[in-house]
Structure 1
Amino acid sequence: MNHAMPVSERIDALLWSRRLEEMPRWQALPTWLGRLIYALTRDLTQGYLSLQAMSLVYTTILALVPLLAVTFSVLKGFGVHNQLEPLLLKVLAPLGEGGVEITAQIISFVDNMRVGVLGSVGLALLIYTVISLVQKIEQVFNFTWRVSTQRSFSQRFSKYLSVILVGPVLFFSAVGLSASLGGNPLVQAVIAAKPFGEVWHALGQLGPYLMISLTFAFFYVFVPNTRVHVISAVVGALIAGLLWEVIGGMFSYFMASSTRLMAVYSSLAILILFMIWIYIAWLILLVGASIAFYHQHPEYLRIRSRDLQLSNRQRERLALILAGQVARRYESGEPPWSSEELAQTLGVPKTNAERMLGVLEDAGFLIRTAGDVPTFVPARSTDGISVKSMLDAVRCFEERESGCRGTLPDGEIGRIETGIDQAIDAALGGMTLRDLARALDGPASSGPFVELPRG
């Protein structure tokens, strides 16, 4: 490595000079971790995560009391509502005495909220505020997971209902069950034995960490409008839980030594610190979501930027490979490809693969099957789809959206464009999608899309 190189070029050469598949395991894992840290640092410094966390602070403050009121009403029906205050105390523990004061005020607001007094308009506003918070969280998570499509109304209703109602019930029931097990005589007898007692004590120490990690994993699985693998959600949740404990301890130390801040802002200091902690809490949650995303989609760690920008030539190349792979499986009778499988096999980001598949679908060359995980098959007989027509669709797919579509220009520019079009037609010689599928002997590599630095 040339020591005269700038730091950024050294990092590029260290992390992206070779493919992970070409490295031994002991070298591939540190390189993958380095790419992950680079991606997280990039998302933080370029504002992708911090701006989203800031937007959630305002929504959280606005919807916190209504959300707790709805949760309190549900938990009261299951007899576990008394555990709401201890949970708030744990969440706001880094605020020290200020956390106790804020918890008391929030619980007081919740206790004073009477649904019968609110009336129909007030109740509708209460529910809307709670729904808007979950909807905002979904939008932020969809941004993290590169999901552009929104859920339908029925899907939102079922998912939001599980997040708002079922989630707290399961969480607090688990907390209550663990507490009741500790007082069971049989469990007490087992704990009395030395090895089991030490294990139980260790589990008690890890209890808060595991509970917050379980809560994070629940959000990662159910909130984004995409299929999240449980193992990826758990990986992100465990790391986010660890960050919660570590940063929470550091924030508590900061609170204990913030007498100067208290002297400057007086009673407003508690509110300011409360908002800072909410921002940090959301930032931790989003960092864990990003880790879960990169764990499930390692192809996004092949590139230095957050999103891969393809040139016109690369778009055409990717579209032909995607169409050929879809047709190849269709002709061989194998199960059809999903967009995620194609992206991981080709080593390209899922957003790029989905966009090109969408172009081919809109042009009538592919159709999307119904199901929880949509797959793609040819829209008609593969020998009736010409490769030239697919290339034409890819080359002009943005013209209609931009409003710049027009007739062929006159003069020399028009002659050049006509010549290029005729040359492509002559080079393809009437090649069909079936011919292309038969020419592909296997999944294509990711080389055309992710260029590695040389030297």
Structure 2
Amino acid sequence: MQKTIYQLFQFLKTVRAAIVFLWHRMVALRLPQVAGSLSYTTVLSMVPLLVIVLSILTVLPQFQGFQKEIQDFMTENLMPAKMSKTVMQQITIFTQRSAGLSLIGGAFLIFSSLTTMAIIDRAFDDIWQVKKRVSFRANVAIYWAVLTLGPFVFGGALLLINWLVHSLKAFVFLSSFLGVVLPFILSTVTFAALYVFVPNRRVHWNDALVGGAIAAIIFSILTHSFSAVFKSFSGYAVLYGAFSIIPAFFLWLYVFWWGVLFGAGITANLPILKYERWRKETRVGYRLSEALMVLYQLYLMRKSPARMMAWDALQAKMKMNSEELGFIIEHLQKFNWIAKVQRADGGYGWALIADTDEVSLADVYDAFVFDTRYYSDQAMQHNLPWAKYLAQLQNTPAHDVRLSELFSASS
């Protein structure tokens, strides 16, 4: 009995520590400030973005009159009915007027939409702490593919949900159940896809689905909360009339983006919780140890028939999140010690390409801890008394050992 109580106490203690760690990480991400910035951007570019999406959806006969399905989905899952109706009415008017746009106006519409996606992309890169950003020009094709193909995938999913719900009308309980569950699943998968494909970092679907489900739950709670607030403060709408929707919509946009970013933050930090990296006490030089472990794993794989290691396998072996492993990989690539190579099945893996007889422990030490060559040269140029001692660090017997000798002694 005492053992069970002790284990329960330790479990609760671990959960508390994990929640505190996650809270500090969320605070560091500055979600409220980023959500405010994205809300402002969305206000300026939402009309161009939705005009393009609705215009694409209404190209095919199957999607004619699709605005009603979108409005129903928004009402039930994203925003209150009154707000959804007003917003969709205005967007429909803008969509009808977009046919009269000039070539320059149409180009500006597309450019505004692409710029919005680039800003969202940058916000996600900040959450995943991506250091090496992809240029806007390189991502234009991806943004355009999302703008053109995304609406069809989303629209097809909505049509499938409506078809299933209407086909099962005879089964009242099942129809009602699917009417609640399927939109939630669609929201979860949509947010998960956002977390997988937008960041310039490898994200596992399992982690993304957890973050997507949390974001979908947040929106479900917020939608009902907003509806209750609107009903409680009906005098506000009487006083301001049609203008009352404007501040409410701004507030909803802010909360919307906060929920999206919160789900992204959960997704980005799940590997840290999963591999218990948050328990790790950071010590000086820990990057050196991790870099040697990565090199050692790839050294072992070089002796195998595959001769390379997939990212997922390397991450599972190292028990590192994408952010930390990405830093090590990028740094090792910079020195041409490892390379990304294509597998026979078309996928990609990582391989050790360095000559381990040429690379020494001192080289890896200089790359990840302290560049003794550079700082000893600097000390010599300024005639500092410790210059010769820094130079001698590079030639110590332990540092001069080659990776081939180091790894063969371990294997």
Please indicate the TM-score interval, normalised by the length of the shorter structure: 0.7 to 0.9
Change (3 A) 1:340 1:180: closer
2:324 match: 352
1:255 match: 230
1:74 match: 56
Q: Aligned to 2:155, which of 172, 176, 192?
A: 172
TM-score, length of structure 1 as denominator length: 0.75
Q: Counterparts of 1:399 and 1:112 in 2: how far apart (Å)?
A: 66
Shift of 1:152: 6.3
Q: Cα deviation per residue 1:260-317 (whole Å; 9 max; x = unaligned)?
A: 7558877654211111101111111222223333345545752279xx9663x22333
Aligned residues with identical type, % of pairs: 23
Q: Counterparts of 2:92 and 2:150 in 1: how far apart (Å)?
A: 20
1:232 match: 207
Q: Counterparts of 1:326 and 1:427 in 2: how far apart (Å)?
A: 22
Q: Is 1:386 the counterpart of 2:360 in the alignment?
A: yes
Q: Aligned to 2:32, which of 50, 56, 59?
A: 50
Amino acid at match of 2:383: D
1:317 match: 289
Q: Is the 1:221–1:227 Cα contact (8 Å) retained in structure 2? A: yes
Amino acid at match of 1:410: N
Deviates more, 1:227-236 or 1:296-305: 296-305
Q: Aligned to 1:101, which of 81, 86, 93?
A: 86
Alignment coverage as a number of residue pairs: 400
Q: Cα deviation per residue 1:92-143 (whole Å; 9 max; x = unaligned)?
A: 67445344333322322222222xx322221111100111122222222222
Change (3 A) 1:181 1:254: closer
1:337 match: 309
Deviates more, 1:70-79 or 1:296-305: 296-305
Q: Aligned to 1:274, which of 246, 249, 272?
A: 249
1:221 match: 196
Q: Is the 1:39–1:304 Cα contact (8 Å) retained in structure 2? A: no
Q: Is 1:291 the counterpart of 2:266 in the alignment?
A: yes
Change (3 A) 1:36 1:74: farther
Deviates more, 1:351-360 or 1:73-82: 351-360
Aligned-CA RMSD value: 3.6
| Structure 2, unpaired ranges of 5+ | 1-5
1:427 match: 398
Query: Residues 131-210 of structure 1 correspond to what in structure 2 (within 5 A)?
Result: 131-151=114-134, 156-183=139-166, 191=170, 196-210=171-185
Shift of 1:32: 7.1
2:338 match: 366
Q: Counterparts of 2:118 and 2:18 in 1: how far apart (Å)?
A: 28
Q: Secondary structure in 2 aligned to 1:303?
A: helix
Q: Is the 1:329–1:335 Cα contact (8 Å) retained in structure 2? A: yes
Change (3 A) 1:302 1:31: farther
Deviates more, 1:69-78 or 1:145-154: 145-154
Change (3 A) 1:395 1:242: closer
Q: Is the 1:327–1:433 Cα contact (8 Å) retained in structure 2? A: no
Q: Counterparts of 1:30 and 1:235 in 2: how far apart (Å)?
A: 21
Q: Is 1:119 the counterpart of 2:102 in the alignment?
A: yes
Deviates more, 1:364-373 or 1:121-130: 364-373
2:20 match: 38
Q: Is the 2:26–2:265 Cα contact (8 Å) retained in structure 1? A: no
Q: Counterparts of 1:418 and 1:288 in 2: how far apart (Å)?
A: 49
Shift of 1:240: 1.6
Q: Counterparts of 2:12 and 2:60 in 1: how far apart (Å)?
A: 47
Q: Is the 2:36–2:254 Cα contact (8 Å) retained in structure 1? A: yes
Structure scoring higher RCO (CA < 8 A, sep ≥ 6) equals 1
Change (3 A) 1:182 1:349: closer
